[in-house]
Amino acid sequence: MIIVLKPNSSRRDIAAVSAEIKRLGYSPHIMRGVARTVFGAVGDERQHASLESLSAWPQVESVTRIQKRYKLVSREAHPQNSTVTTRGVVIGGPKCVIMAGPCSVESERQLMITAEAVARAGATVLRGGAYKPRTSPYEFQGLGLKGLKLLAKARKATGLAVITELLSEDHVEQVAEYADILQIGARNAQNFQLLIAAAKTGLPVLLKRGLSMKIEEWLLAGEYVLANDNPNLMFCERGIRTFETYTRNTLDLSTIPIIKRESHCPVVIDPSQGGGRADLVAAFCKGSVAMGADALLIEVHPNPAEAWSDGAQQLSLEGFAALMKDLKPFLAAAGRE
């Protein structure tokens, strides 16, 4: 249910409504707008009294049922776009945020060279996997804690915020100590216990779309984050499994306007996993910007041919710098900085 308070309600009014929502057996999720305060009240309506009674309260403007299965991530719950902020980087605002870096952290030298190059070219977030979800157990699994420490070192040297993936609940505490944004990978997109544990850190969560996940399932997975009191959620499209084998995945750009219609959360596009080919990354970025993506997550490596993972899809440092230049008119045309 969405409970909208009258404009300029006092703190006492807000506290009283919050207490009543709790008393009736629901959890109140507060959203403060410029003029109005809105509560998303979630709970099982079969087990508790109806919240409709609140509509008689003088400080309440309206009580509306959210018909969709996802509630807090829905546009109905939060009509304005929400933004996610970390280290001064705002995702979901006027600026299209560029997150870039290697698929995997391999060495101090590799990471530092990449971090400095992407920062120079305009990225504000550094990506890099320390724990890697590899299809084969015989492939490089990531540097683990050593990789996290290198990411923190690169952040210190460049000022870039850090995004990195966590594969299991066992990693949450450790990764949260080093990262600014927690990445939930495609293979874990419906690992609900992991989503809950990540949400509870309070850090921003970037939720990739699962390889064969329907949009509704993806939104419901995101709901786990907001329902655990973490409003800092981003959805990241990274391509889905289709009959097509020309590309590694089929990048589904239709998700940009659809997620934007259904949800208030920022939308990020990963053009690297999206096609699995470096030569497609620029076109995917341009299309994503035109369709309203709030951020791009791009794999960049000083020597893609020698990369320990995903070599075919990583841009070289020069390739990335050229892309940043090429993107400018597209960003301007889309009204983004």
Residue 238 within binding range of ligand PEP, rule CB under 6 A: yes
Comparing CA positions, the residue from 72, 57, 79, 71 lying closest to residue 9 is 57
Closest CA to 97 of 122, 77, 72: 122
Site map 83..122 versus ligand PEP, x via CB under 6 A = --------------------x-------------------
205-208 and 233-237: which strand pairing? parallel
- Report d(CA 217, CA 10) in Å as an integer: 38
Measured from each CB, the residue nearest to ligand PEP is 185
User: Residue 103, interface with Mn ion (CB under 5 A)?
Assistant: yes
Least distance in angstroms from the C-beta of 277 to Mn ion: 13
Q: Which is nearer to ligand PEP, 77 or 268 (CB)?
A: 268
CB 230 within 8 A of CB 70: no
Q: Select 43 or 311, whichever has its Cβ closest to ligand PEP.
A: 311
Q: Which is nearer to Mn ion, 103 or 111 (CB)?
A: 103
Residue 182 contacts residue 200 (beta carbons within 8 Å): no
Residue 253 and residue 237 in contact, taking contact as beta carbons nearer than 8 Å: yes
> Does residue 185 bind ligand PEP (CB under 6 A)?
yes
Q: Minimum Å distance from CB 305 to ligand PEP?
A: 17
Smallest gap from Cβ 145 to ligand PEP, in A, equals: 18
Nearest residue to Mn ion, by Cβ distance, number only = 103
Q: Which of 79, 94, 133, 329 binds ligand PEP (CB under 6 A)?
A: 133
The phi and psi torsions of 83 (rounded to 5 degrees) equal -120, 155
The amino acid at 139: E
Helix (H) / strand (E) containing 104: none
For residue 306, the minimal CB distance to Mn ion (Å) is 15
Mask of contacts with Mn ion, 286-315, x by CB under 5 A?
Answer: ------------------------x-----
For residue 235, give the nearest of 248, 212, 217 by alpha carbon. Answer: 217
Tokens in use for 101? 């870096």
Any contact of residue 167 with Mn ion (CB under 5 A)? no
Least Å distance, CB 42 to ligand PEP, is 28
Nearest to 129 by CA among 188, 215, 210: 188
Least distance between ligand PEP and beta carbon 187 (Å): 6
CB of 267 to ligand PEP, least distance (A): 15
Per-residue buried b or exposed e for 193-232, using 16+ beta carbons within 10 Å of the residue's own CB: ebbbbbbebebbbbbbbbeebebebbbbbbbbbbbbebbb
**The one-letter amino acid at 193:** Q
Question: By CB under 6 A, is residue 273 in contact with ligand PEP?
Answer: yes
> Using the rule CB under 6 A, is 29 a contact of ligand PEP?
no
Select from Mn ion, ligand PEP, none the partner in contact with residue 238, using the beta carbon and a kind-dependent cut-off of 5 to 8 Å.
ligand PEP
Binding site for ligand PEP (CB under 6 A): 103, 129, 133, 185-187, 208, 238, 270, 273
